[in-house]
Structure 1
Amino acid sequence: MIQQRANFDWMLKELYSGVPGIHMIVVLSSDGLRLARYAGDPDAADRVAAACAGLQSLAGAVAQEIPSTDGDMNLVVIEMEGGYFYLMAAGANAYLAVLADVRCEPGRMSGMMRDLVVRIGAHLTSPPRRDGHSV
């Protein structure tokens, strides 16, 4: 289970401060529950987390169609008019999502996200839940 949010605030802040243009960082479980966030509106972070559950499932289904892969989703980048959305696997049943504007350089962002996941990935896990409770 992810530790207290306060324990990760400084690491999420480091990502936020390290790449210009970030609007919101969300850590979520694979079923779309927001575990932590930095910046942005809490309600918007909940909506992003819920949407990410579907996106990571879709990306995983597509990845299974690629021969010689394990079918796991590593990184999804969506370029939109005015910005980017990033979703990265960040541990067992956990993901790191970032919304950023056009000032953000995609290569730098994905590199910084990978660095963060490597540093705290073991702590960014969310055990599977059944009936709303951890199993």
Structure 2
Amino acid sequence: MIQQRANFDWMLKELADGVPQTRQIVVLSADGLRIAQYGGDPDAADRIAAACAGLQSLAVAVAHEIPESDGRMRMVIIEVSGGFFYLMAAGAGAFLAVLAEETVDAGLIGSRMRDLVVRIGAHLTSPPRRDGQPV
């Protein structure tokens, strides 16, 4: 797992460098555990990951209310005073979250996130766990 986290560094840095207004990037498991991060501090990344678990669960619940939906969350975008938050499904049981400044090109960051997920989605997975261990 240590080597895999090291490999995430350059991938996440590439995303941040491609969109300069990016503040923090977090890769997380569906149950809210931080897998990797770029920018910001680890405590903030852990809080973001935990919040994202609830947010993706809420998005799935809402998706089930849309008759044409397959019930899967693809992307959530939240605009707040001072910036944007993006959450995208990124593989089996994994998600990609990005915090960005309010001057970010919203279309560009969404597109770059999607490109990253398509390119390396197989690496952005988190197997189900039982008692903290993969099952």
What is the TM-score normalised by the length of structure 2?
0.96
What residue identity is the alignment partner of 2:94? A
Alignment of 1:19-98 (within 5 A): 19-98=19-98
Secondary structure of 1:60's counterpart equals: helix
Structure-2 separation of matches of 1:114 and 1:14? 13
Secondary structure of 1:66's counterpart equals: coil
Q: Could you list the structure 1 runs, at least 4 aligned residues long, displaced by more than 6 angstroms after superposition.
A: none
Q: Judging changes above 3 Å, is the alpha-carbon distance between structure 1 residues 131 and 119 closer, same or farther for their aligned structure 2 residues?
A: same
What residue identity is the alignment partner of 2:25? I
1:105 aligns with 2:105: yes
Structure-2 separation of matches of 1:127 and 1:45? 20
Structure-1 separation of matches of 2:58 and 2:32? 13
1:118 corresponding residue in structure 2: 118
Q: Does the CA-based 8 Å contact 1:83-1:101 persist in structure 2?
A: yes
2:11 corresponding residue in structure 1: 11
Secondary structure of 1:122's counterpart equals: helix
User: What are the ranges of 5 or more consecutive residues in structure 2 without an aligned counterpart?
Assistant: none
User: What are the ranges of 5 or more consecutive residues in structure 1 without an aligned counterpart?
Assistant: none
What residue identity is the alignment partner of 2:75? L
Residues 27-56 of structure 1: per-residue CA shift (max 9 Å, x gap): 000000000000101100000000000000
Cα deviation, residue 21, structure 1: 1.2
More deviation, 123-132/83-92: 123-132
Identity of aligned residues (%): 73
Structure-1 separation of matches of 2:98 and 2:56? 14
Return the structure number with greater helix share: 2
CA RMSD of aligned residues (A): 1.3
